[in-house]
Homo-oligomer: A and B are copies of this chain.
């Protein structure tokens, strides 16, 4: 007796969906069946969007954020931004959270990762040389290091500060401390230590 199985096209769809991060076997099966039961139009729309994005989206030659093929990103193409203010982030995905905070009106620089020898990521794998080039072209500019506050982020910030020290720029690091709305009882020891070390007069 042959076991009842999904048609090959469904099995292939499940396998493709399963490759997405955070989607397991069950989730992929559920999604595939949803596409077949309720979302055939959605399936075609998603397929077109995937191909269109893969074909046309590239990175901004200035900052490394996403941009249409051969163009600069919205921020780098915006003449009203403060070009003497550079915010250095690890990934392009870190740009929009900062943008949404409404507290920054300069340009960005995406490193493409953080220094992590254990994962084989060394400074030369990141867009560090490009950053130094941009800073050299903007004497007197301000560089804000908005990398993560984990060990690799710290190492990256220290390395960049060292590299930027001989250049004509001011370098700062975003503050570390208590997140908004958090109670002291839930804060971990390192966060509290940094919050106390970074205390400010009121």
Residue pair B74, A3 in contact (C-beta under 8 Å): yes
Distance between A54 CB and nearest chain B CB, rounded to angstroms: 4
Distance between A20 CB and nearest chain B CB, rounded to angstroms: 6
Asked if A164 is at the interface (CB within 8 A of a chain B CB), the reply is: no
Asked if A194 is at the interface (CB within 8 A of a chain B CB), the reply is: no
Q: How many residues of A contact B (CB 8 A)?
A: 64
Say which one of A41-49, A135-143, A175-183 lies at the interface with B: A41-49
Q: Which residue of the partner chain, among B4, B17, B44, B66, contacts A51 with CB atoms under 8 Å?
A: B44
Q: Is the interface of A mostly helix, strand, loop or mixed?
A: helix
- Per the bound structure, the CA–CA distance linking A12 and B48 in Å amounts to 10
Q: Which residue of the partner chain, among B3, B17, B50, contacts A35 with CB atoms under 8 Å?
A: B50
- Per the bound structure, the CA–CA distance linking A65 and B44 in Å amounts to 22
Which B residue's beta carbon lies closest to that of A68? B7
Determine the chain B residues whose CB is within 8 A of the CB of A186 once the complex forms.
none
Known: A21-B34, A66-B7, A78-B1. A53 touches B43 (CB 8 A): yes
Determine the chain B residues whose CB is within 8 A of the CB of A3 once the complex forms.
74, 99
- Per the bound structure, the CA–CA distance linking A25 and B94 in Å amounts to 16
Distance between A34 CB and nearest chain B CB, rounded to angstroms: 5
- Per the bound structure, the CA–CA distance linking A19 and B33 in Å amounts to 14
Cβ contacts A to B, 25 pairs, < 8 Å: A2-B74, A2-B78, A4-B95, A4-B96, A6-B96, A7-B57, A9-B68, A10-B53, A12-B53, A13-B53, A15-B49, A16-B42, A16-B50, A20-B35, A20-B42, A21-B31, A21-B34, A30-B93, A36-B53, A36-B57, A37-B92, A40-B54, A44-B51, A46-B50, A47-B47
A residues apposed to B, CB below 8 Å: 1-10, 12-13, 15-17, 19-22, 27, 29-37, 39-40, 42-54, 56-57, 65-68, 73-75, 78, 80-81, 91-93, 95-96, 99, 105, 108
